[in-house]
Structure 1
Amino acid sequence: MAGRLRAPTGRYGGKSAEERQAERRRRFLDAALQLFGGSPGYRGTTVAALSEAAGLSTRQFYEEFRTLEDVLAALHLQVNDWAEEAVVEAAAGAADLPLTERATAIFRAYAANVTGDPRRIRITFVEIIGVSPRLEEQRLARRASWVDLICTEARAAAARGEAAPRDYRIAATAFIGSVNGLLHDWSAGWVDATLDEVVDELVRQLVGILRPPGWRPPGGVVEGRG
């Protein structure tokens, strides 16, 4: 199909065209979370099935999207945005806490958001993989934004004297891989641990990266040590 069908304009049922479009888009994404993140998954879903689940027509689908891949792309970004919002809120609330407590609060918020709905885990770590070069580029770009967030936090911690001052980009990239792998394996039942235990392990890894052996902060006292 060369492009989307043009949606109607003007007010209808007390809603503007923009409001109706936003509602349709939300219903399609809600249905996609159900079908892509559950059964039958992205590869087993058709436009007709998605439209039926959304309570809309296939014509309305093509007014909003060109392909099912466009829906998956939008849903992947939305799931990541939800997690990022949870992290930013947690970071703001823990701004005055010591490093370990702050990192624990941030990762607990992230883990709770991502794992609170198994469908989000599947979208983030399963359905997005191997679909197309375009979605692989999007996945890597979104992961890079998480790396940037960790680097920003690490630089701030170093400026406060809580972490070693260095370039954290490689370490942050490796750490994000650990986060994704561990949370996916835990959600799939391959890791026998509570979510709190998983978060505690990730925090230990991060603190070990920020405070390598032999490093001492200004004043010579590391948090939790005498």
Structure 2
Amino acid sequence: MTGRLKAPTGRYGGRSAEERQAERRRRFLAAALELFGGAPGYRNTTVAALSQAAGLSTRQFYEEFRTLEDVLAALHLQVNGWAEQAVLDALATADGLPLAERAAVLFRAYARNVTSDPRRIRISFMEIVGVSPRLEEQRLARRARWIDLIRAEADAAVARGEAAPRDYRLAATAFIGSVNGLLHDWSAGWVDATLDDVVDELVGLLLGILRPESWRPPAA
């Protein structure tokens, strides 16, 4: 398969070709969330099974995607996009809040989004891992976006006098690993705590990074 089949053009049933294509893509991604994020998982799903779950044909699949890996790549970006938008929406309401409250707003929004559906956890933290160099690069690139967000929040807190000045690159990387690991384990039932408990633990961990015991806030 050197490329996608050519999709039909023109209007049909009152919808444009672009609208029909967007609807097909939505149905394939919804089916992929069900199959990749649940049973049987990405590695045990076939094009025929995915097409059947979407209520579409394999020909329509190849009009939208080249391979199942393309579907997983698109779904991974979609799931991360949902979480990122939830965080950005929450931060838009957090202007002027003290650091601890602002951090709680950020992580509560992220945690509630990614744990609202166990399939999202599986796509983000399990199914995407080790598939191919291309998807590994995408996974790390998306993680880098979260690291950059944490670094930006840390630098802003330093500028406000709420955190110790330092290069937070490594600390942010380590912290994101802790976030993902704890949320995965909580979602899998391996952590006996409420989601609020998990968020409080993450906020406490972040504040400990930003405000080490030896640091004192600057005088007003």
Whether TM-score is above 0.5 comes out as: yes
Aligned to 1:127: 127
**Residue type at the aligned position of 2:83:** A
Runs (4 or more) in structure 1 with deviation over 6 Å come to none
Give a deviation string over 1:58-113, Cα, whole Å, max 9, x none. 00000000000000000000000000000001111111211101101110110000
Aligned to 1:192: 192
Aligned to 2:48: 48
**Aligned pairs, number:** 220
Deviation of 1:176 after TM superposition, in Å, equals 0.4
**Residue type at the aligned position of 2:56:** L
Give a deviation string over 1:200-224, Cα, whole Å, max 9, x none. 110001011111121111227xxxx
SS in 1 for 2:190: coil
Unaligned runs of 5+ in 1: 221-226
User: Matches of 1:63 and 1:122 in 2, distance apart?
Assistant: 27
SS in 2 for 1:93: coil
Question: Percent identity of the aligned residues?
Answer: 82
Give a deviation string over 1:31-83, Cα, whole Å, max 9, x none. 00011001111111110110011111000000000000000000000000000
SS in 2 for 1:40: coil
User: Matches of 1:183 and 1:99 in 2, distance apart?
Assistant: 22
Aligned to 1:157: 157
User: Matches of 1:57 and 1:107 in 2, distance apart?
Assistant: 40
**Residue type at the aligned position of 2:124:** T
SS in 2 for 1:22: helix
Aligned to 1:224: none
Deviation of 1:192 after TM superposition, in Å, equals 1.0
User: Matches of 2:21 and 2:41 in 1, distance apart?
Assistant: 25
Give the RMSD, CA atoms, in angstroms: 0.9
SS in 1 for 2:171: helix
User: Matches of 1:144 and 1:150 in 2, distance apart?
Assistant: 10
Deviation of 1:154 after TM superposition, in Å, equals 0.8
**Residue type at the aligned position of 1:89:** D
User: Matches of 1:21 and 1:218 in 2, distance apart?
Assistant: 57
Aligned to 2:16: 16
**Residue type at the aligned position of 1:197:** D
Unaligned runs of 5+ in 2: none
Farther-moved stretch of structure 1 (74-83 vs 183-192): 183-192
Confirm or deny that 1:209 pairs with 2:212. Answer: no
**Residue type at the aligned position of 1:141:** A
User: Matches of 1:117 and 1:27 in 2, distance apart?
Assistant: 18
